[in-house]
């Protein structure tokens, strides 16, 4: 089954063609990051305008790279939410139009299901499975007893981990998006600044706003005392605490739910500390581990097409009254 996946929930316009949920044929991702960097974050109105401008071009380029025509596509998978409403609507209207024109099924895909299923493009998913979802908007542990069954074990009580990376980067004057910059600097520094491990309790929940405040306080404190902040060391200290906090809860969930496979999903799955940490943890526990290729960690159409295949197997097909949702529970 050949599915065209469309993703436009934030600042990437992307289309991809994937066969049977596992085999990528072609993917085009047009990022607006350079535009939004000028504002220190994504500006929703600007993002939706660019989606409108880019969507047709991205679709045509994807078909061209795949050496395919729309007649060869069996279904359209669309990321209907959560995300920025104006951005989502552009992808949704394109998806509905194509499904109507070519008389093929329209498959609704939750954006986080997409991030999870980016892993199906890397390795076969084995169940029961634990998904660690870490992105700019989410930090969640999700238990899956089988395909397309999602049970949330815990999540962040305040900031998402990617959001915290971006804010800490701003404090350190590193610009937007801060995640990749902090990750790079962390590899060059020593974890010499003491920072508290957030929400060091027995739940599967996370909390990052206290850690963010601790970094801000540390930076102000050093500034007042005229001591220069060593950015590399701050990045290394911050990343160490984030990884420790994530690993602690992940290990607890592995033990409690006797999972066979752990996957990492979302933009922050690109983080070297998290990738290596979870991989080592799974080796120690002698269970399967997978993480998407770097280009499939941030938002892309391939993950939507992959998830769409498994959603379709469960009979999930949308009518033309499908609407975009800025917020929606993964189920």
Nearer to ligand KG4, 108 or 266 (CB): 266
How many residues bind ligand KG4, per CB under 6 A?
A: 19
Which does residue 86 bind out of Zn ion, ligand KG4, none, counting CB within 5 to 8 angstroms by kind?
A: none
300: three-class secondary structure by DSSP: coil
- Is 254 exposed, middle or buried (CB count within 10 Å of its CB: 0-12, 13-18, 19+)? buried
Q: Which of 11, 183, 232, 299 binds Zn ion (CB under 5 A)?
A: 299
The residues in 234-263 that bind ligand KG4, with binding defined as CB under 6 A, are none
CA distance 82 to 90: 14
CB of 191 to Zn ion, least distance (A): 28
Exposed e or buried b per residue across 159-175, where buried means at least 16 C-beta atoms within 10 angstroms of its C-beta: bbbbbbbbbbbebbebe
Q: Quick check: 298 binds ligand KG4 (CB under 6 A)?
A: yes
Q: Which of 92, 299, 305, 312 binds ligand KG4 (CB under 6 A)?
A: 299
Stretch that binds ligand KG4, among 151-159, 219-227, 267-275, 317-325 (CB under 6 A): 267-275
CA pseudo-torsion sign 147, 151, 153, 157 = positive
Which does residue 183 bind out of ligand KG4, Zn ion, none, counting CB within 5 to 8 angstroms by kind?
A: ligand KG4
Q: Determine if residue 224 is left, alpha or beta; phi over 0 gives left, psi from -120 to 50 gives alpha, anything else beta.
A: alpha
Which does residue 270 bind out of ligand KG4, Zn ion, none, counting CB within 5 to 8 angstroms by kind?
A: ligand KG4
**Which residue bears the tokens 């394109």?**
94
Angle between helices 178-186 and 161-171 (to 10 degrees): 80
Which does residue 177 bind out of Zn ion, ligand KG4, none, counting CB within 5 to 8 angstroms by kind?
A: ligand KG4
Q: Which of 166, 235, 306, 310 binds ligand KG4 (CB under 6 A)?
A: 166
Q: Quick check: 24 binds Zn ion (CB under 5 A)?
A: no
Residue among 189, 277, 276 at smallest CA distance from 230: 189
Nearer to Zn ion, 88 or 236 (CB): 88
Distance from the first to the final alpha carbon of the chain: 23
**Taking a C-beta distance cutoff of 8 angstroms, is the pair 312, 301 a contact?**
no
Stretch that binds ligand KG4, among 94-102, 227-235, 249-257, 266-274 (CB under 6 A): 266-274
3-state helix, strand, coil in the chain (%, to 5): 45, 20, 35
Q: Tokens at residue 63, please? A: 């078909």
Q: Quick check: 205 binds Zn ion (CB under 5 A)?
A: no
Find the length of the chain: 331
The residues in 80-139 that bind ligand KG4, with binding defined as CB under 6 A, are 135-137
Which does residue 82 bind out of Zn ion, ligand KG4, none, counting CB within 5 to 8 angstroms by kind?
A: none
Q: Tokens at residue 137, please? A: 């908007």
Stretch that binds ligand KG4, among 47-55, 123-131, 160-168, 278-286 (CB under 6 A): 160-168
CB of 253 to Zn ion, least distance (A): 21
The residues in 215-234 that bind Zn ion, with binding defined as CB under 5 A, are none
List interacting residues with ligand KG4 (CB under 6 A).
Answer: 10, 135-137, 162, 165-166, 177-180, 183, 266-268, 270-271, 298-299
């Amino acid at each position: 089954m050949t599915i065209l996946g469309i993703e436009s929930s934030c600042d990437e316009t992307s289309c991809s063609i994937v066969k049977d949920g596992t085999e990528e044929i072609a993917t085009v991702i047009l990022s607006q990051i350079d535009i939004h960097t000028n504002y220190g974050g994504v500006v929703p109105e600007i993002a939706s305008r660019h989606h409108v401008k880019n969507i047709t071009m991205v679709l045509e380029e994807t078909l061209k790279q795949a050496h395919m025509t729309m007649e060869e596509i069996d279904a359209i998978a669309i990321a209907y939410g959560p995300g920025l409403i104006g951005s989502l609507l552009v992808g949704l209207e394109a998806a509905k139009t194509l499904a109507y024109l070519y008389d093929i099924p329209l498959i609704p895909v939750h954006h986080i299901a997409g991030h999870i299923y980016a892993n199906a493009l890397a390795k076969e998913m084995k169940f029961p499975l634990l998904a660690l979802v870490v992105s700019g908007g989410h930090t969640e542990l999700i238990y899956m007893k089988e395909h397309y069954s999602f049970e949330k074990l815990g999540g962040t009580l305040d900031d998402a981990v990617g959001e915290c990376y971006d804010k800490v980067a701003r404090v350190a004057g590193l610009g937007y998006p801060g995640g990749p910059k902090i990750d790079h600097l962390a590899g060059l520094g020593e974890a010499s600044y003491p920072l508290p491990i957030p929400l060091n309790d027995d739940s599967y929940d996370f909390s990052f706003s206290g850690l963010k405040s601790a970094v801000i306080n540390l930076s102000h404190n050093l500034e007042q005392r005229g001591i220069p902040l060593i950015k590399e060391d701050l990045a290394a200290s911050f990343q160490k605490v984030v990884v420790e906090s994530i690993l602690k809860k992940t290990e607890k969930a592995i033990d409690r739910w006797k999972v066979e496979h752990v996957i990492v999903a979302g933009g922050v799955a690109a983080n070297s500390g998290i990738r290596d940490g979870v991989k080592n943890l799974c080796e120690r526990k002698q269970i399967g581990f997978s993480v998407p290729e770097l280009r499939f960690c941030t938002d892309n159409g391939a993950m939507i097409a992959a998830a769409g295949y498994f959603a379709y197997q469960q009979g999930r097909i949308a009518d033309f009254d499908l609407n975009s949702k800025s917020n929606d529970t993964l189920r």
